Structure 1
Amino acid sequence: MAVTNQPGKYEASNFQTGLCDCCDDCGTCCYGFFCLPCLGCSIASDMDECCMCGIGMPIRSVYRTRYNIRGSLCKDYYAAACCTVCATCQLKRDIDLRKKQGIF
């Protein structure tokens, strides 16, 4: 049998929801708005990280790298610094969607 495709990287994708798509999951949005540290702990737990690591640029970058999501450290920094709640909620929405799809 001849090899016709070489193994390689998966094609890069985007986050499954936008940064400001809070209405896609109002529960997560409210969770992030009223108790951001708790949402961060939930994300860290999902990713088997320390509870203090669930908010900010580092966890976002690790997640993007793990699932080959387009972006950069600079974009991660600005999203986490300028839109902390929105960026954290986006990450949690993406995790929940990947769990439903069976790819988390």
Structure 2
Amino acid sequence: MSWTVSTQPQGESVPYEDAEWMSGICDCCQDKRQCCFAFWCCPCFACRTTKEFGQCLCLPLLDICGCNRPITMSMRLSVRRRYGIRGSLCRDCLFSTCCTACVWCQMSREMKMRELPTVLGDIISR
């Protein structure tokens, strides 16, 4: 018995990158509680943010091994791609290496700001 394929799987479409970050890299004061958490325990904050993004909880712990931050940079790139945010790999690398805690705060704020509420009758929940 042989099967005939009538349609080919389509690749994932990437949105056109024309959006900007909703907050700047140094806008940590928008959420002081989150900023303190990221400053005092960045690995824990990064793991929580990564899990909320839908990736492996322990992935950011790989960044501890060196001076450059490949996981932080990859996560920043993934967030930019998901939300169609303009940017470059060079800037992602620079910010991820020099401002790690600020990058994680920015990504977390972005995910919260772009999260759409679920409407159930009169109840709106996040």
Please name the residue that 1:67 is paired with.
Answer: 83
Please name the residue that 2:111 is paired with.
Answer: 95
| Cα distance between partner residues in 2 of 1:34 and 1:97 | 23
- RMSD between superposed Cα atoms in Å: 1.8
- After superposition, residues 23-102 of structure 1 pair within 5 angstroms as 23-54=29-60, 56-99=72-115, 101-102=116-117
Query: Structure 1: which 5+ runs fail to align?
Result: 1-8
Native 8 Å contact 1:53 1:59 kept in 2: no
Bigger share in strand: 2
Structure 2 length-normalised TM: 0.68
| Cα distance between partner residues in 2 of 1:70 and 1:53 | 24
Q: Which moved more, 1:50-59 or 1:86-95?
A: 50-59
Q: Runs of 4+ in structure 1 displaced over 6 angstroms?
A: none
Number of equivalent positions: 94
Please name the residue that 1:6 is paired with.
Answer: none
Could you give the per-residue CA deviations for residues 41-92 of structure 1, whole angstroms, max 9, x where no partner exists?
A: 1111111111233451001101101111010111111011011111111111
Q: Which moved more, 1:58-67 or 1:46-55?
A: 46-55
Native 8 Å contact 2:17 2:86 kept in 1: no
Larger Rg: 2
Query: Structure 2: which 5+ runs fail to align?
Result: 1-14, 61-70, 118-126
Aligned identity (percent) is: 40
Bigger share in helix: 1
| Cα distance between partner residues in 1 of 2:106 and 2:17 | 21
